[in-house]
Structure 1
Amino acid sequence: MNFRGEEMKKRGFEIVAKYADAGLNLPQRQTKQAAGYDFEAAADFVVPSIWKQGLFKALHAIKHAAKPGEEELTAGDQALKPVLVPTGIKAYMQPDEVLMLFNRSSGPLKRRLILPNGVGIIDADYYNNPANEGEIFVQLLNYGLFDYHIKKGERIAQGIFMPYLTADDESMPKNDRAGGFGSTKK
């Protein structure tokens, strides 16, 4: 409770302003014992097959050429770049919590879609950041032979809120988040 007697919100989801009138659903658990909240795509989206974008040429050049050309290598590298699928959702949580994004079990099995980073990490200070209001995007890579057409409202990932621990005698970071997705720079 805060000083006015109102209960403070601990963690949850909101729709970002850009999608306020888009008819999006907030992430939900699908069963009583489910740990993950299913995230849906905010719009129709195509996840291209890595095999249609020059990856074969790059692999062939690497295997058969004494020195593969820069063009083939660049095309192959670009083919392996994931796409960012918008969800239109932001998450708020306590300062000592994180939202972890995972594949849904049907993603690789039925659709050949994976999160190439394995687990997406959404920090508490990502919420309402000035760069993108904290909108959560799901990185996806399509290793299937066909492009995959995601429909608006299709469930594409699941998120689990987790507490985290910090190390003893840690020097407290002095930086505040300045940007959106992938903004932490070294």
Structure 2
Amino acid sequence: MKRGFEVVSTKRDQGIHLPKRQTENAAGYDFEAAQDFTLPSIWKGNFIKALWTIHQQKKLTDTDFTAADASLKPYLVPTGIKAYMQPDEFLLLADRSSGPLKRRLVLPNGIGIVDADYYNNAGNEGEIFFQLINYGLRDYHVKKGERIGQGIFIPYLRADNEDQPLAKRTGGFGSTKK
């Protein structure tokens, strides 16, 4: 087995579909949401209050900035899927073209990267989540089974004379941060 997808064990009986390509020459495998999920609009609450305060040429406090920043945080939409691949490959996660255009949903970092050693990690069994932000004016309600993003398997190259990293993955999403 070189590369592919599996449903995580905790969601095997929940009707999760494996990602698939929609056309013969499609590079990306479409991922679906594993459950209904509401993505709140960023244009609500503390973010818009902060913009209004700035527009009124008033000062924001640190508390105002913190509250506004919290409104801009991405949400992790579960897929119930994990991916296995070769050690010199990664799975690139990307927006579907219809995400920003039709739904106003984007990955805040532009792409996501799932490393080969994320598969079956102790933290979350390697379940893939899509980080999404809703920049539309209304909350967006993702339905279970709705396509939310795509994944593309990509090989990568290593630099000559690279020191091998000593760290081993010990957890799930975001576990390699220092």
Question: Take 2:55 and 2:171, find their aligned partners in 1: how far apart are those partners?
Answer: 40
Question: Take 2:45 and 2:9, find their aligned partners in 1: how far apart are those partners?
Answer: 34
Q: How does 1:57-96 map to 2 (within 5 A)?
A: 57-96=49-88
Moved more, 176-185 or 82-91: 176-185
Cα-Cα RMSD: 1.0
Q: Give the counterpart letter for 1:30 in structure 2.
A: Q
Question: Take 1:66 and 1:146, find their aligned partners in 2: how far apart are those partners?
Answer: 27
- Aligned residue-pair number: 178
Q: Give the counterpart letter for 2:81 in structure 1.
A: I
Is 1:18 equivalent to 2:45 in the alignment? no
Q: Give the counterpart letter for 2:145 in structure 1.
A: G
Report the CA distance between 1:61 and its aligned residue: 2.6
Q: Give the counterpart letter for 1:141 in structure 2.
A: I
Report the CA distance between 1:54 and its aligned residue: 1.4
**What's 2:168 paired with?**
176
**What's 1:125 paired with?**
117
Alpha-carbon displacement from aligned partner over 1:76-135 (angstroms, at most 9, x marks no partner): 101110000000000000000000000000000000000001010000000000000000
Gaps of 5+ in 2: none
Q: TM-score under structure 2 normalisation?
A: 0.97
Question: Take 2:43 and 2:67, find their aligned partners in 1: how far apart are those partners?
Answer: 11
Query: Which of the pair has more CA radius of gyration?
Result: 1
Gaps of 5+ in 1: 1-8
**What's 1:164 paired with?**
156
Report the CA distance between 1:66 and its aligned residue: 4.8
Is 1:152 equivalent to 2:152 in the alignment? no
Report the CA distance between 1:13 and its aligned residue: 0.2
Q: Is the 8 A contact 1:41 1:87 kept in 2?
A: yes
Q: Is the 8 A contact 1:96 1:163 kept in 2?
A: yes
Q: Give the counterpart letter for 2:129 in structure 1.
A: F
Q: TM-score under structure 1 normalisation?
A: 0.93
